[in-house]
Chains A and B, each alone.
Chain A
């Protein structure tokens, strides 16, 4: 099946810093989403981005489908950005395949 690799696995930032999270996938995909799982375990849909670039406030994402990777940018990080960021892709059919996540800690 499709492989989804996220890097880095862990990231510690000071408040105000910028960061880039990466997601590599092993096959062409029809759907790619970025999720944020907050410290309470809730899974928040950040972006649906099978290709191109999107921005939402301090967050933006870019997917280069032909090169099989996606990037999530977080600018001016805040403590509330802490949590785990997951990339999930859909190849065919309906199931999403998730990466193992990037654990982000933003310190005040």
Chain B
């Protein structure tokens, strides 16, 4: 009974390259949430998606960042033309009911992006 799976665990990109982060939700979950943790800070909400639909992207930077959750396959967080300030840990959570998971949200192990 796998939990939320994120890959890769670590990702190194040069400035200007693209980063693609993947999140596979728990079995039976159709809602995915992405959070970003900058060094020495708490997690900050980025985007909430259900399959084939973005519900809330109010925490997503307006430029260079995009997210999708296709009908088949994992959710993808895409960062174009990465800059050093994008270096952070990116976490994903999933839920079945969307708004009120009965036992709270469970997070994946995160992807640590380093931009050199």
Contact = CB atoms under 8 A, between A and B. Distances in A.
B72 to A, nearest CB: 23
A33 B105 CA distance: 8
Contact of A86 (B31, B43, B110): B43
B45 interface: yes
Interface string A18-35: 000000000000110101
Contacts of B98: 94
Contact of B59 (A35, A95, A101): A95
Interface string B101-116: 0011111011010000
Given A41-B109, A41-B110, A42-B109, A97 B45 contact: yes
A100 B42 contact: yes
A89 B95 CA distance: 16
Interface of A: 30-31, 33, 35, 41-43, 45, 47-48, 86, 88, 93-101
Given A42-B110, A45-B106, 14 more contacts: A31-B100, A33-B104, A35-B107, A43-B91, A43-B110, A48-B103, A94-B48, A94-B56, A94-B98, A94-B99, A95-B33, A96-B35, A97-B45, A100-B41
